[in-house]
Amino acid sequence: MADTATDSRSVAFLGLGTMGFPMAGHLAVRGGHRVTVFNRTAAKAEAWTARFGGTRAATAAEAARDAEVVFLCVGGDDDVRAVAGEAMTAMKPGTIVADHSTVSAAVSREMAELARARGLFFLDAPVSGGQAGAENGVLTVMVGGDGDAFARAQPLMACYGRSVTHMGPAGAGQLTKMVNQICIAGLLQGLAEGMAFAQKAGLDGHKVVDVIGKGAAQSWQMDNRAKTMLDGKFDFGFAVDWMRKDLGIVLDEARNNGASLPVTALVDQFYAEVQGMGGNRLDTSSLMTRLTR
């Protein structure tokens, strides 16, 4: 269990999108922490404080000024540079920045160096589990950075993380998230092909899933997405646009480290086809659509 209200700490949360909004809520409700929020679209911060209480700040620097730990959940590399960079200008020495965005390992290392120069700590802490995981407080959090800073921040992350693990130095969290996305991409394509094949073969797809889901083919994706793929339902939160951003980061890193990712590169092209069909905001299981159109 995360910290209780008797252990209340002053924290900030910057970025209240699909993931950040409920994550910040768990810090306030489950953890009983004093949360100050900032979002570049002020209406989201207003909605958050209306629901959870806490304090809304007009700028990232204002939100971070008195926080012990500053959490971040924004879009891409440039967003992290802008929001975390501004927040760091106001932080007291020893403050921790924990970035839950999915970005490049390079920018995480860059921000860790910037934090170190200011007497701060930076943790790259991307998450897996999607919108449902954030709302239910059962995310997987993979963290890179200073071990002592991780130990201080881990009880806070446990407010919304079922698993919170230190993976190594700066950038290690992002690299672990890349492995996660590589594995998911291949699994989803295989699942889509299997379900499309079952339909073409005249089988009852739902019955097929019930049978093979008890054997070696079983996976989280099969348990949670196979039947909805068969039913043409693709509205589960993690959008194709986001997956393509993540796979772009993966493929860039692979070019740098020499890893061979032929399946990941192919699935990235398939997601581009889904975007071309207007499926930008569909869930990643929508790979099925290009096989059944």
Q: Which of 71, 70, 126 is nearest to 94 (CA)?
A: 70
- Cβ proximity of 51 and 29 under 8 Å: no
Query: Which one of 177, 200, 227, 245 is the catalytic residue?
Result: 177
Contact yes or no for 97/84 (Cβ under 8 A): yes
Whether 227 sits among the annotated catalytic residues: the reply is: no
Give the helix ranges, DSSP H, for 7-76.
Answer: 20-29, 42-52, 60-64
SS3 state at 30: coil
Instruction: Give the distance from CA 11 to its chain's centroid.
Output: 19
- DSSP code for 159: T
How far lies 242's CA from each of 108, 230, 237, 282, in Å?
A: 19, 23, 10, 10
User: Within 13 Å and on the Cβ side, how many CA atoms surround 187?
Assistant: 17
- Which residues does the annotation mark as catalytic? 177
